[in-house]
Chains A and B, each alone.
Chain A
Amino acid sequence: MKGDDTHRLSMSVNGRRVVIEVEPRTTLADALREQCGLTGTKVGCEQGSCGACTVMHDGQQIRSCLMFAVQAQDAEVWTIEGLSNPPAGQQASELPLPKLPDLASALKRNHGLQCGFCTPGMLIAGAALGHAASGRLDDAEIREGLSGNICRCTGYQGIVQSIAETFRAESTDSEAPS
Chain B
Amino acid sequence: MATKMAERIPAERVQVDPIHARAREVEVIDTDFHFLPTWEKMREYMPEPFASGYKRYPPVGSEYPPDQAIDMVGTGQSVMGVAATAEDVLRVIDEIGVSTVMLSPGFQRPQSIYHPRAISALSRAFNDYLANEVMPASPRIKAEIMVNQRVPEEGAAEIRRVAKNENFISIYTEFGGTYESIGTSTHDPIFEAAVEFDLPVTIHVATFWQQWSPLSNGARTWTELLGISSMATCLAFMGSLVMQGLFDKFPTLQIMVKEGGYWWLPDFLARADDFYMGHPGDIQYCERKLDLGEKFLRKLPSEYVLEHFHFATQPMCIPDDEQKFADLMRLSHGEDLFCYSSDWPHATFDPCNWVFEHPKVLTPEVQQKILSGNARKLYKRIG
The judgment on whether A and B are partners is no
